[in-house]
Amino acid sequence: MRVVGTVGKNKPEILALFLSGKQRCVHSSIFGFTNDLTLVSHVPARNKTVILNASQHYDDTCMGEEKDHKPEIIMHYNATKCEVDVLDKHVREYTCMRSMTCWPLKLLNLNDDVCANAFVLWMLKYPNCQKKKNNQRHLYLFSLGEELVTPYIRRADSGNNDTLTGP
């Protein structure tokens, strides 16, 4: 799995050299490399620093015009960050999770992400299905839940109450 994302400036692992944007020129970048990660600190404007971490970029390639010389990592992040925002919006609209503070239970949020990705794949395979309806995702999640629960309901109706073993 490849990762590209911003890093908070409050992390103690970040060196002071990467944080200080006041002494650096505008549009300057500093790179840090390990075996499998790249850290870049870019100054897009005076007194502002953006820090990104990437696992798929291994060099200090910069792109763009001469006046706005951005690292390739930042260009890639800017091109793909809206996809994560759209996924988060979809998950917030229809979620199967409750509000909780225990972080191991938050791993169950993967159910929402899996359902959102399954809906995208379903729409790619059946683009004309339910096209005229405004609540396509809601209808898809309802039918998905219905199909997942139906075998257990049939088993319970047939007199076998051992629903933990599966269909």
Q: Return the higher-pLDDT residue of 148 and 105.
A: 148
Question: What is the residue-averaged pLDDT of the chain?
Answer: 76
Q: Give the DSSP H/E element, type plus range, for residue 2.
A: none
Total domains in the fold of the chain: 2
Q: What phi and psi values does residue 11 have, to the nearest 5 degrees?
A: -75, 130
Q: Is the distance from CB of 71 to CB of 42 less than 8 angstroms?
A: yes
DSSP 8-state assignment for residue 43: E
Q: Is there a single domain that holds both residue 9 and residue 69?
A: yes
- The verdict on 136 and 115 lying in the same domain is yes
Same structural domain, 122 and 67: no
| Pair 9, 81: CB distance under 8 Å | no
Given 81, 105, 121, the domain boundary residue is 81
**pTM of the predicted structure, to 2 decimals:** 0.53
Q: What is the pLDDT of residues 49-85, one digit of tens each?
A: 888 888 876 666 665 555 567 888 888 888 887 777 7
Banded model confidence at residue 160, pLDDT cuts 50, 70, 90 = low
Average pLDDT over residues 34-52: 85
Q: Domain range spanning residue 108?
A: 94-157
Strands 29-33 and 38-45: antiparallel
Report d(CA 113, CA 96) in Å as an integer.
11
Q: What integer pLDDT is reported at residue 139 of this predicted model?
A: 82
What is the reported pLDDT for 103? 61
pLDDT of res. 166: 53
Least confident of 3-12, 81-90, 102-111: 102-111
